[in-house]
């Protein structure tokens, strides 16, 4: 069985697991939150893992789209599908503006431009009247999808969110395996050589920026629709740090890595208190009970461990182990079999 078949089987099991998750007791809102951040991380990975562009400004796309979708649905009365579309377009437009300036510099200078512009956008959101300032947008209704499907039901909303995230993930897969995706990989590996082959690398990088920002905007719009609010934390630089952490923990440059990384980080952020209580009961150390108040410390520790021990991330290291196991099995299978073994 080749690697592609193994991946297909793995993705099929994950999708089936998500389909039956509510039936086996999973809380739909919590799983939808993981789905939204998985899409956010996958969009970021398209830019960093496959194009080699590090952005510290992806929070602007997530939060900007969240505000756009939330305001349009709450204040203008748009339907949820139009709100999602407007949010996605808002993220893409922001990506076009920020990407236009950042791709004209290389390395850390490009990264710092994305951070500076994203922080400027954060202060715009802080002062703009339609964002609600520090209170954020609250009470955003889910409404009726296409005027037919009532999204107020959490179970219905769950399967709509799953369908949207699955479609977006398939778009990312198709993009990566397309000729355009191969050019992006060439730019990441050796941009001067790609230029020498006649490619306008700035045009390809800008398109990747817009596509990544649009998908991040879709994630932000969907999160707003699911949770019913959009706040300043969505556009704060810490959201950009979180998506970098998710991508690195899961495995940069892998399709499944951002999904795994998002699940790990969101689970830790929401369940670290329960984990601390378990360790306190197990060890008798009272300090573990306060672990839920130290989420930033725990996520920072995970980041340090990831950088020092497994730089390829969870899925990157798992892929290497699977390849080694396959190579070992094939090498043993090629050895001659003795007469005793035949009997």
Q: What is the pLDDT of residues 99-150, one digit of tens each?
A: 999 998 888 899 999 999 999 999 999 988 888 888 888 889 988 888 888 8
Cβ atoms of 246 and 258 closer than 8 Å: yes
pLDDT of residue 5: 77
pLDDT of residue 333: 57
As a whole number, mean pLDDT of residues 287-312 equals 74
As a whole number, mean pLDDT of residues 228-248 equals 90
Sorted by sequence, the CB contacts under 8 Å of residue 35 that are 6+ apart come out as: 18, 161, 162, 165, 222
Q: What is the pLDDT of residues 45-60, one digit of tens each?
A: 999 989 989 999 999 9
Mean pLDDT of the chain: 86
Q: Is the per-residue pLDDT at 342 higher than 70?
A: no
pLDDT of residue 339: 44
Q: Where are the alpha helices (DSSP H) in the chain?
A: 3-20, 28-48, 58-74, 80-102, 107-127, 154-176, 179-196, 201-227, 237-250, 257-283, 295-309, 313-333, 339-342
The upper half-sphere exposure of residue 147, i.e. CA atoms within 13 Å in the direction of its Cβ, equals 0
Which residue matches tokens 């290497």?
320
Q: What is the pLDDT of residues 177-189, one digit of tens each?
A: 999 999 999 999 9
**Percent over 90 (pLDDT), the chain:** 47
pLDDT of residue 235: 93
Length of the chain: 343
């Amino acid at each position: 069985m080749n690697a592609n078949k193994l991946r297909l089987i793995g993705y099929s099991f994950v999708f089936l697991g998500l389909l039956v998750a509510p039936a086996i007791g999973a809380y739909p809102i919590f799983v939808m939150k993981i789905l939204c951040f998985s899409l956010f991380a996958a969009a970021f990975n398209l830019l960093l893992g496959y194009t080699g562009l590090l952005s510290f400004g992806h929070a602007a796309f997530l939060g900007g789209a969240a505000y756009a979708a939330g305001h349009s649905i709450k204040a203008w009365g748009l339907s949820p599908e139009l709100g999602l579309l407007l949010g996605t377009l808002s993220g893409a437009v922001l990506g076009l503006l920020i990407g236009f300036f950042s791709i004209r510099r290389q390395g850390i200078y490009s990264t710092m431009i994305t951070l500076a512009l994203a922080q400027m956008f954060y202060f715009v959101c802080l002062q703009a009247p339609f964002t609600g300032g520090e209170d954020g947008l609250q009470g955003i209704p889910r409404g009726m999808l296409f005027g037919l499907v009532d999204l107020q039901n959490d179970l219905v909303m769950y399967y709509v969110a799953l369908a949207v995230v699955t479609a977006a993930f398939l778009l990312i897969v198709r993009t990566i395996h397309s000729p355009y995706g191969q050019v992006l990989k060439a730019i990441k590996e050796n941009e001067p050589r790609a230029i020498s082959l006649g490619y306008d690398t700035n045009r390809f990088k800008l398109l990747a920026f817009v596509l990544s920002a649009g998908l991040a905007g879709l994630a932000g719009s969907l999160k707003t629709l699911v949770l019913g609010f959009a706040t300043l934390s969505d556009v704060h630089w810490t959201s950009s740090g979180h998506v970098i952490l998710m991508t690195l923990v899961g495995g940069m440059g892998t399709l499944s890595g951002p999904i795994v990384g998002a699940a790990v980080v969101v689970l830790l952020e929401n369940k670290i208190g329960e984990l601390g209580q378990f360790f306190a009961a197990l060890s008798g150390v009272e300090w573990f009970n306060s672990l839920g108040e130290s989420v930033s410390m725990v996520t920072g520790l995970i980041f340090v461990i990831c950088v020092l021990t497994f730089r390829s991330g969870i899925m990157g290291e798992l892929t290497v182990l699977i390849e080694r196991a396959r190579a070992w099995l094939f090498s043993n299978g090629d050895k001659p079999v003795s007469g005793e073994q035949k009997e």
